[in-house]
A and B are shown apart, each in its own frame.
Chain A
């Protein structure tokens, strides 16, 4: 089966810094990856996704990088703001049916 995990459980940054959250996956057949943000007491919210035929995808202040060689993806948040404080999950899918989530990284942004 597939497992998707994160390297760091908590990341603390200063407001204005760039944040990088990392994620490793084990299933080389995974072809779709997605990052979610979860604020306290709420359901996960979509941030950005990437398919395996891409190495990089950019959104508003966020960039996802995919390295298929080492089965690693990262989420970069530019100019991190206090409102970015949340738990971030990566997830991956190798088919239509199921999405496998990592355990999450808590991002703490200090003013």
Chain B
């Protein structure tokens, strides 16, 4: 199994541009989530999904959209990038226990918005 994969590894955007961060898992996990990590801070939950077709907001959802059309994929969309969205983004997944089970994290996407 590849586990949780994320693409791209690095991205530079200009203010106002849009992009999609990809996340995929091959463990047949129901629960998937997106976090952002800023210097000196822990991970903050952006959006999460408890299964295909179901998504919900986390702590910091503004400026981000998600969808979950399949169990495997959970893309994160930035509609109009802002410098405040410069961060490292992590995708994670877990099985039926959701947040009450081990989250498996991807390697992260480093995003710089100029």
A interface residues with partner B (beta carbon < 8 Å): 4, 31-32, 34, 36, 41-46, 49, 89, 91, 93, 95-104
Contacts and interface: CB of A to CB of B under 8 A. Distances in A.
Interface residues of B, number: 27
Nearest to B105: A43
B100 A96 contact: yes
B87 to A, nearest CB: 14
Contacts of B2: none
A103 B41 contact: yes
Contacts of A32: 99-100
A101 B43 contact: yes
Nearest to B90: A43
Report, nearest first, the 4 A-B pairs whose CB atoms are least far apart: A43-B105, A101-B42, A96-B98, A93-B99
B50 A97 contact: yes
B29 to A, nearest CB: 13
Interface string B78-94: 00000000000010100
B26 interface: no
A21 to B, nearest CB: 13
Nearest to A31: B100
Given A43-B90, A43-B106, A96-B50, A104 B98 contact: no
